[in-house]
């Protein structure tokens, strides 16, 4: 089997590429390195079944060739991270919609199974204990740039479903909840790598808002295994699946846990959202997935719990800091 992974030099994409190679697949990656990094795939570069192209998914002519030689396509390339989204909404909207249009159109022409990475952000301001795939999606106003990420991913989902319904394209959509692991960058607003970095450097651990907001975190290895299983499962085509963890933690408790596990001297401080992002920034109180749909179809369940995930991420970060010193 030969997979094309768009955004394969990113955090999740590079873990997906690694997992596919381990399963004996050939893997081709396309990435423009806008938020990803070549260091994420450096260990794969000499693998005989691995190749990569540094270019944009927006290069339709190139994508036609890449889709043609793949058996299946994992589309992960996107503008990602709250900070990037609020600072660069034009880039976000154009990247997320145009790239997905190209991928779906070409996969449809060549009839190649495709997986589209969506996000729990699409649930927006929905106020429920757990989010299910068929729940209403409740976004904020267009005056608040943060919602452009969710809106663009909703269009991606509609488009994937439309290609399935009208053109019989074998397309599956996954709504990823916070996914964590080594190689995730804290630069664009991701909370766990930022806290770990701050704690290891004994810098203040900065909580945006009052820290009472609750989130669940899923190990990247669990997420990529679910993706690989779903794209090969005909029962998944035309469907949307939540992928996440069912245990949640407040951001304040997350900061304390990171501080304890790193034996850090850092103080924990609070930064108002308007300072961290922009005036009027809205955050959600809770975001927890109902994973019964994906559990039922492929037996998915998250394997790692938060302390173990954090332990592995901290070890990874420590090694990087030592190597850089």
Residues that bind ligand NAD (CB under 6 A): 6-7, 9-13, 30-36, 56-58, 76-78, 80, 95, 99, 117, 119, 176, 178-179
Closer residue to ligand NAD in complex, CB, 10/113:
10
Shortest distance (Å) from residue 108 CB to ligand NAD: 19
Closer residue to ligand NAD in complex, CB, 40/108:
40
Determine which one of 123, 149, 188, 208 is catalytic. 149
Shortest distance (Å) from residue 74 CB to ligand NAD: 9
Cα separation, 1 vs 21, whole angstroms: 10
For the chain, what is the HEC assignment?
Answer: CEEEEECCCCHHHHHHHHHHHHCCCEEEEEECCCCCCHHHCHHHCCCCCEEEEECCCCCHHHHHHHHHHCCEEEECCCCCCHHHHHHCHHHHHHHHHHHHHHHHHHHHHHCCCEEEEEEHHHHECCCCCCECCCCCCECCCCCCCCHHHHHHHHHHHHHHHHHHHHHCCCEEEEEECCEECCCCCCCCCCHHHHHHHHHHCCCCEEEECCCCCEECCEEHHHHHHHHHHHHCCHHHCCCEEEECCCCCEEHHHHHHHHHHHHCCCCCEEEECHHHHCCCCCCCCCCCCECCHHHHHHHCCCCCCCHHHHHHHHHHHHHHHHHHHC
Active site residue 149: yes
Shortest distance (Å) from residue 263 CB to ligand NAD: 26
Catalytic machinery residues: 149
């Amino acid at each position: 089997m030969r997979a094309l992974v768009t955004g394969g030099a990113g955090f999740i994409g590079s873990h997906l590429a690694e997992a596919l190679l381990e399963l004996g697949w050939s893997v081709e990656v396309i990435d423009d390195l806008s938020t990803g990094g070549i260091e994420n795939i450096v260990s794969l570069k000499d693998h005989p079944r691995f190749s990569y192209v540094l270019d944009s998914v927006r290069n339709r002519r190139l994508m036609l060739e890449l889709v043609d030689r793949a058996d299946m396509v994992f589309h992960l390339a996107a503008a990602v991270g709250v900070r990037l989204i609020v600072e660069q909404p034009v880039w976000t909207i154009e990247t997320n919609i145009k790239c997905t249009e190209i991928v779906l159109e070409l996969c449809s022409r060549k009839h190649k199974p495709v997986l589209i990475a969506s996000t729990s952000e699409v649930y927006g301001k929905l106020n429920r204990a757990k989010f299910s795939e068929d729940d209403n999606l409740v976004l904020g106003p267009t005056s608040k740039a943060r919602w452009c990420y969710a809106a663009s991913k909703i269009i991606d989902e509609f488009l994937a479903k439309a290609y399935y319904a009208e053109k019989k394209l074998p397309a599956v959509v996954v709504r990823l909840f916070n996914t964590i692991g080594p190689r995730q960058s804290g630069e664009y607003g991701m909370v766990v790598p930022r806290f770990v970095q701050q704690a290891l450097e004994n810098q203040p651990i900065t909580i945006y808002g009052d820290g009472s907001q609750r989130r669940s975190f899923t190990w990247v290895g669990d997420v990529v295994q679910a993706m690989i299983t779903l794209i090969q499962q005909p029962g998944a085509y035309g469907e949307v699946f939540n992928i996440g963890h069912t245990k949640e933690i407040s951001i304040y408790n997350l900061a304390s846990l990171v501080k304890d596990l790193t034996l850090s001297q850092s103080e924990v401080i609070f930064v108002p959202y308007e300072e961290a992002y922009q005036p009027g920034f809205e955050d959600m109180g809770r975001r927890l997935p109902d994973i019964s749909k994906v559990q039922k179809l492929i037996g998915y369940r998250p394997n790692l719990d938060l302390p173990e995930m954090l332990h592995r991420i901290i070890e990874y970060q420590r090694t990087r800091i030592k190597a850089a010193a």
